[in-house]
A and B are shown apart, each in its own frame.
Chain A
Amino acid sequence: MEERVPEKEYMYSGHVACPGCGAAVAMKLFLKALGDKTVLIIPACCWSIIAGPYPQSALKVPVLHAAFETGGATASGVRAALDIKGQSDTTVVTWAGDGGTFDIGFQSLSGAAERNDDFIYACYDNEAYMNTGIQRSSSTPYGAWTTTTPGKEWKKMRKKNIVEALAAHRIPYAATLNIAFPEDFVAKVKKAKSKKGTRFLHIYASCPTGWRLPSEQSIKIARMAVQTNIFPLYEVDEGLHYTINYFPKEFPVKEYFRMQGRFKHLSDKDLEEIQKMVDEDWRILLRKAEMFP
């Protein structure tokens, strides 16, 4: 699925993201796709800073900054208020990082999703707590260095599969998005907007600073994540119907890992292990798409 990227900008230049920040690109595309009548809730994350300090804002839509663990519940509250005031046509969005989604905010998100409260939850995933200086999250992939998984303590657990966790709530829509695939990105945001209930968007957002990657390779690494099946593009409707949006030629994962300083300690054998994990996840996904088209 593909849609042209709309012209209108909702971000001001002068925001304070790092060079090459995938999360800044993600927000730019996201707001273009959503258009007017959008309100953002931002729990603590890099975007709490990127959005600018008082009395400024880098965004042209209303923003409610929120406590780190409250992304789901705050959205439920805003939705309730807007509905009762007759503003049901405003799209309520929680825009949170992976830490605020997979970890500390998971309870709040799960609660809202189970109630099927009417909002879009967008998680931009840079695979660690970047705001506070690159600490591991449960989204940090197997094999990664972070400041809390240093040296030989590199992360030995797999990344939590957040889309599956949300799909298991049987919400109307869950999908993966990637900044290197803008037409697919925009189409999915528009589709999410057209639905009611809790919609979950998992957005791959590269982080040159935290991944030890040259900033000009931010989009390239994002594209490779899809091409290697590390981050497949797919949708889950009603928690059941799987659609895979992109079938890659199955490039090996090795180069993806070798480009990033956060993986530089991994041996070829480690990478073979990781290749097996990626292949395994891809086979499960194919199977689901086959079983529940």
Chain B
Amino acid sequence: MKQVLEGSQAVAEAVKLARVDVISAYPITPQTHIVERLSDFGAEGKISAKYLRVESEHSALAALIGAATGGARTFTSTSSQGLALMHELLHWASGARLPIVMAEVNRALAPGWNIWADQTDSLAQRDTGWIQLYCENSQEVLDSTLIAYNLAETVNLPAMIILDAFYLSHTYEPVDVPEQDLVDRFLPSLKPKFQIDQDDPQAFSSLVTPNAYMEMRYNIAQAMDETISQLDSIEGKFHDIFGRRYGAIESVQCEDADIVMVTSGTITSTCRQVIRDLRAQGEKVGLCKIKMFRPFPIDAIRSTLQNANKIAVIDRNFSFGATGIFAQEIRAALCNLPRRPLVFGYVAGLGGRDVTTGIIESIYRCTKDTDVPLSESIWIGLQEVSDGRARS
């Protein structure tokens, strides 16, 4: 049934449909509407999950590590500072191979306090062994949450679905909310591959010597690799039932494009419009949306980008001392190709600054008009002050 939902509410609907057993979360703007909606569902008897209202994000994830080891389907949600505080346990969840699912709302990191959209929080957790799925609209948020459970439980790795602060978390859109029986078909109840069992007492997460640690890490690496093909088959099943699929990446008019713009999250929607306008003017431009960032779908990215002459990556994030993080990963993915396009890295929209069609078009023009990138990262829209230094 179609409903008009915020991205946050789409997450909550999906959690309800996934028949989650244990929820554990701590409030932080702009994630609060997710946990509040789930509280309402609990009070109205619409979900029967146990809901742990813990005293920090660190405890939120720690509680789920306990719950998932106990064999429960689990959910948490956070943002920015909260995700950063979880860092130790993010590693723990993947190392322990627990299929925990989290909705993470992209928000800028302090100081100074800033509650607006910025991807650095989740991208800074790229090495923690979590699957990361970046979403563009509320429908994708709902669908990806369901897909994330299926995927996480198939490969036994935790998964994050990621939505931009406010642009997605607080924006109302029509969403097709699927029927429970169809969701049950897509996502049967959890059958843990291991769990606490009195009849078969095992020790979990115990000391591992150099003898075995490396093999365990290799197993995680393999599970991550497998996730790419699993996404394909799980989305196939999702498509059979619901008629929608997204792919690890989406390519829009890249086949004959001289310049391909690379985006993620809600900037993608704005970029779609720019691509339409530029194409109407005869520009040979394409768009590559990256939905799955971990595991990084290198093969798909290579085949989509390799025929273009120039790639323009828009990063709403930054790795200090390096570059925008998507640009960095795309350069790495392309570097072993015999013929490589030039990669232009643009940093835009940090801390919630708007990335408009005008800005995206100027990024396109800049890419077209320069033969080689003038620097590894081009910061868009910095305000100048009299001493010539950028001011924010």
Q: Show the binding face of A for B, using Cβ within 8 Å.
A: 44, 48-49, 53-54, 65, 67-69, 102-104, 106, 129, 131-133, 135-136, 138, 147-153
Are B44 and A147 neighbours in the complex by a CB distance under 8 Å? no
With A44-B113, A54-B112, A151-B44 known to touch, is A133 a contact of B81 (CB < 8 Å)?
A: no
Evaluate contact between B42 and A153: CB separation under 8 angstroms. yes
Also in contact, A69 and B56, with CB within 8 A (given A152-B43, A153-B43): yes
- Asked if A68 and B39 sit within 8 Å, CB to CB, the answer is no
A148 to chain B: which residues have CB within 8 Å? Answer: 27, 35-36, 39, 53
Q: Does B40 contact A (CB under 8 A)?
A: yes
Are A48 and B113 CB-contacts (below 8 A) given A129-B27, A135-B27, A148-B27? yes
| Extra inter-chain contacts (20) besides given A148-B27, A152-B43, CB under 8 Å | A48-B113, A49-B113, A65-B110, A65-B112, A65-B113, A67-B81, A67-B110, A68-B81, A103-B56, A104-B26, A104-B55, A106-B55, A131-B29, A132-B27, A132-B29, A132-B32, A136-B53, A147-B36, A151-B44, A153-B39
Contact with A along B29-56 (1 / 0, CB 8 A): 1001001100110111000000001011
CA distance A129 to B27 in the complex (A): 8
Q: Chain A residues with Cβ under 8 A from B55's Cβ?
A: 102-104, 106, 138
A148 to B26, CA, bound (A): 10
Indicate if the CB atoms of B85 and A150 lie closer than 8 Å. Answer: no
The answer for the CA separation of A151 and B36 in the assembled complex, in Å, is 12
Q: Decide if A135 touches B36 in the complex (CB within 8 Å).
A: yes
Quick check: B85 and A69 within 8 Å, CB to CB? yes
Q: How many A-B residue pairs have CB under 8 A?
A: 59
A-B contact pairs, 8 of them (CB 8 A): A44-B113, A69-B85, A104-B26, A104-B56, A106-B55, A129-B27, A133-B36, A150-B39
The chain A residue sitting closest to B25, CB to CB, is A148
Query: Whole-angstrom distance between the alpha carbons of A49 and B39 in the complex?
Result: 26
Closest to B28 in A: A132
A65 touches B111 (CB 8 A): yes
Verify A151–B113 contact, CB threshold 8 A: no
Cβ-defined contact, A149 with B39, below 8 A? yes
A130 to chain B minimum Cβ distance, whole angstroms, is 11
Q: How far is the CA of A55 from the CA of B29 in the complex (A)?
A: 22
For chain B, residues 58 to 88, give those with C-beta under 8 angstroms from any C-beta of chain A: 81, 85
- For residue A66, which residue of chain B has the nearest CB? B111
Q: Residue among B35, B55, B112 with the most chain A CB within 10 A?
A: B55
Known: A65-B113, A69-B56. Is A135-B85 also a contact (CB below 8 A)?
no
Closest chain B CB from A85 CB (angstroms): 23
Q: Chain B contacts of A132 at CB under 8 A? A: 27-29, 32
Residue of A nearest to B27 (CB): A135
Q: Which residues of A contact B32 (CB under 8 A)?
A: 132-133, 135, 147
Cβ–Cβ < 8 Å partners of B111 in chain A:
65
A128 (CB) vs chain B CBs: closest residue: B27
Question: How many Å lie between the Cα of A246 and that of B166 in the bound state?
Answer: 48
**B92-129: which residues lie under 8 A (CB-CB) from chain A?**
110-113
CA distance A44 to B29 in the complex (A): 11
Shortest beta-carbon distance, A146 to chain B, in Å?
9
A54 to B391, CA, bound (A): 12
Residues of B within 8 A of A147 (CB): 32, 36, 39
Shortest Cβ distance from B82 into A: residue: A68
Query: Which residues of B are found within 8 Å of A48, using beta-carbon distances?
Result: 113
Tell me, in angstroms, the Cα distance from A129 to B35 when the chains sit together: 13
